[in-house]
Amino acid sequence: MSDKELKSFKEFWPYYLGEHRLPRNRFLHYIGTFVSTALLVWLVLTQNWWFIPLVLIAGYGPAWIGHFFLEKNRPATFTYPLWSLAADYKMFYFALTGRLKHEWPKYF
């Protein structure tokens, strides 16, 4: 990432996409997003709050593996945690709806 600080989610989104160019990395993110969301729903329904660390491990574990070992970059979560979380869900939704392939030409 450049030294320029991103000021909005609109500025962050192209940066986020650029950090997720490899399909295998994106797939790891989708797994993490799906599993962590399912766990979170289960935790709310069962009120087993002591499993909250599993939600974080399930969500961040696969994503960080994708960044450190596949993309060889630093996860955006370290600098922009809330925007990164929102972008994970946006990317997952766009992938499920077929819109993600239309996002790339806008920025790259």
Contact 108, 13 (CB under 8 A): no
User: How many other CB atoms are there within 10 angstroms of residue 105's CB atom?
Assistant: 7
**Does 48 have pLDDT greater than 90?**
yes
**Does 40 have pLDDT greater than 90?**
yes
- SS3 per residue for the chain: CCCCCCCCHHHHHHHHHHCCCCHHHHHHHHHHHHHHHHHHHHHHHHCCHHHHHHHHHHHHHHHHHHHHHHHCCCCHHHCCHHHHHHHHHHHHHHHHHCCHHHHHHHHC
CA distance 48 to 54: 11
Nearest to 87 by CA among 6, 15, 5, 2: 15
Q: Provide the pLDDT confidence category of residue 4 given band limits of 50, 70 and 90.
A: confident
Q: Which pLDDT does position 3 carry in this prediction?
A: 58
Q: Which pLDDT does position 2 carry in this prediction?
A: 52
For the entire predicted model, the pTM comes to: 0.91
Residue 70 carries which side chain, given as an amino acid letter?
A: L
| Per-residue model confidence as pLDDT tens digits over 5-24 | 999 999 999 999 999 999 99
| Per-residue model confidence as pLDDT tens digits over 51-92 | 999 999 999 999 999 999 999 999 999 999 999 999 999 999
**Does 32 have pLDDT greater than 80?**
yes
- pLDDT mean over 26-40: 98
